[in-house]
Structure 1
Amino acid sequence: MKRMMLLAATLSLAAGPAAAQSLPDLMKQMIAAWNTPTEPFKVIDNVYYVGTNGLASYLITTSQGHILIDTVMPESTAQIEASIGKLGFKVADIKYILNTHAHIDHTGGLAQIKQETGAQMVAGAKDVPLLEGGFYPGREEERHLGFPPVKVDRAVHEGDTVTLGGMTLTAHETPGHSPGCTSWTTTVKDGDATRSLIFFCSATVALNQLVGRPTYPGIVDDYRKTFAWAKTVHPDILLAPHPEMYDMAGKRAKIADGAPNPFVGPGEFNTYLDKLETQFADGLAKQTAALQSGK
């Protein structure tokens, strides 16, 4: 996990134009770590982890079919499908595919699984052009960031819901990381208790250009809106597109029958977002300084 976090930090620093030539090599290292297989497991209630060791994908099961949130890199789609089978569920029973944001590491298998299942593809409205074009905004010419385009059946906005088999997920616009970055909230059972859960999109700077020629217009204001919104919500459980964002490995190791579920951590989301807001401010300051110095 430390290696992946180091690579992620390096990749974030590669956002500037001067580092663009080294990006493909950095991506190769990152992808190798991302694609490492891992066994699927039950997170809580009817929510299961079916991603790789480095990238998250979640299956929410119901009596009327299933909901899949995000996929991974294109070449690892088969791992998701195999993991679903290992858990005793069928890929063919997926009725909805939800996306948090339109980046290759979370969209690579969307088109394939949609074609195989006939599931309805749901995503944030402002990410629809990216998903249907298969590109990273502002870097359309960089093929290593491209992914198989997918037709979006339903574009969602703040407060829209997806309901299946008694399970309802609510969409929240949390832009910045991508224009249509969408977080999803729901509730799950934890023994006799009901827990609030968020599938958080992301708020890292990553490859985004914030100043000069920004990745997209209004990106800085979007990040700030997301951080302001985050202060108003207090979920019991944080899940996210990258396992290290919520220490999946550490929590998974603590799962035991009869013990408190380690994924339940009130306050964890807000603490994490505080760190992201600080990182965003640092990233904005560094990019602004570099622009002013002409580097």
Structure 2
Amino acid sequence: MRLALLTGLLAAGAAIAAPTSPPEWSAPTDPFRVADNLYYVGTAGISAWLITTPKGHIVIDGAMPTSAPLIQSSIRRLGFQPKDVKILLNTHAHFDHTGGLADLKRDTGARLLANPADRKALETGTYPGWEENRGLDFAPVKVDGDLKDGQPVRLGDAVLTPRFTPGHSPGCTTWTFQVKDKGQPLNALLYCSTSVAANRLVSRERGPQYPGIVGDYRRSFALLKTFRADVFLAPHAEQFGLPEKRARLKAGGANPFVDPGELARRVAASEADFNRELARQEARAK
């Protein structure tokens, strides 16, 4: 994930300004259909997802603090109306995935459901453990209902199951649901993230980002290894090869988003990165 600049500034104790974010995180891009009733409505670098049903629609993630108008424009371009969005969901409460939720909620009237472990971050608009870095803030948004691990969220014919995979944030939530591609039912998984990014795993000066973070990461890796997914989705474009896949999708042929082996490959790579970063932070703390 392209958070090296943010991480370095945080480690130096600097206040972060929004322009330090990679430009593609806020850049517009064309929306498109991934499969059946699943659509991409995010920015060039940050994902947001639209799931449509006859009873209304679901949006997962709000991307950057400036992204709500872009997301709503993308929904309209696909032939749907933002006012028909009934439920807002989130993968995790960081500014680059939550920033647009307050505006989306205001404009659509949708209810926001969230992992209770991320409720405080959502309702204060802060990054837990870096509250003093105002550049990581986003507009606070009221949570209307708490999710329960494994208890599905239902709207129309859509059934989305939240699985709690904390570490990247205390309330990191991975979503599983079914889609169809050319009539074939497929299991989709929207991964929350297991990158370390700006998180302190070990720190003599400040302590970890939040108590128990290392154990949370390890339990989340173990849980993710038990999942099977035909379609792997992620919050950042580079985490699931979005540019390459959308180009292949446009060219026709087999749907490039269908790859039953991708989840295992991505989780294994992320766990290896985590172990290296944990070792680095432990050595620095000695």
Query: Which letter maps to 1:24?
Result: I
Query: Which letter maps to 2:57?
Result: H
Is 2:36 the counterpart of 1:45? yes
1:157: how far off? 2.3
Residue in structure 2 matching 1:253, options 247, 252, 258: 247
Query: Which letter maps to 2:212?
Result: G
Q: Partner of 1:151: helix, strand, or coil?
A: coil
In the alignment, which residue of structure 2 is the partner of 1:73? 64
Please give the residue correspondences for 1:203-222 in structure 2 after superposition, counting only pairs within 5 Å.
203-212=194-203, 213-222=207-216
Question: What is the rounded CA distance, in whole Å, between the counterparts of 2:198 and 2:252 in structure 1?
Answer: 42
Is 2:261 the counterpart of 1:267? yes
Question: What is the rounded CA distance, in whole Å, between the counterparts of 1:258 and 1:14 in structure 2?
Answer: 43
Question: What is the rounded CA distance, in whole Å, between the counterparts of 2:198 and 2:4 in structure 1?
Answer: 10
Residue in structure 1 matching 2:16, options 5, 17, 24: 24
In the alignment, which residue of structure 2 is the partner of 1:234? 228
1:9: how far off? 3.5
Unaligned runs of 5+ in 1: none
1:113: how far off? 1.1
Question: What is the rounded CA distance, in whole Å, between the counterparts of 1:123 and 1:14 in structure 2?
Answer: 29
Q: Partner of 1:54: helix, strand, or coil?
A: coil
1:260: how far off? 1.2
List per-residue Cα deviations over 1:114-145 (Å, max 9, x = no partner): 11222110111100111011100111111101
Answer whether contact 1:238 1:246 (CA < 8 A) is retained.
Answer: yes
List per-residue Cα deviations over 1:76-110 (Å, max 9, x = no partner): 22111111111111000000000010000011111
Query: Which letter maps to 1:233?
Result: F
In the alignment, which residue of structure 2 is the partner of 1:120? 111
Question: What is the rounded CA distance, in whole Å, between the counterparts of 1:256 and 1:82 in structure 2?
Answer: 21
List per-residue Cα deviations over 1:163-216 (Å, max 9, x = no partner): 111110000000000000001100111123210001110000011001121110
Residue in structure 2 matching 1:276, options 260, 270, 275: 270
Query: Which letter maps to 1:277?
Result: E
Question: What is the rounded CA distance, in whole Å, between the counterparts of 2:91 and 2:214 in structure 1?
Answer: 19
| Structure having the larger proportion of residues in helix | 1
Question: TM-score of the superposition, structure 2-length normalised?
Answer: 0.95
1:259: how far off? 1.8
Q: Partner of 1:249: helix, strand, or coil?
A: helix
Q: Partner of 2:66: helix, strand, or coil?
A: helix
Answer whether contact 2:9 2:16 (CA < 8 A) is retained.
Answer: no
1:155: how far off? 1.1
Q: Partner of 1:254: helix, strand, or coil?
A: helix
Question: What is the rounded CA distance, in whole Å, between the counterparts of 1:150 and 1:160 in structure 2?
Answer: 23
Question: What is the rounded CA distance, in whole Å, between the counterparts of 1:40 and 1:273 in structure 2?
Answer: 27
Question: TM-score of the superposition, structure 1-length normalised?
Answer: 0.92
Q: What count of residue pairs does the alignment treat as equivalent? A: 283
In the alignment, which residue of structure 2 is the partner of 1:57? 48
Question: Aligned Cα RMSD in Å?
Answer: 1.5
Unaligned runs of 5+ in 2: none
Q: Partner of 1:233: helix, strand, or coil?
A: coil
CA separation of 1:10/1:141 partners in 2, compared to 1, >3 Å: closer, same or farther?
Answer: closer
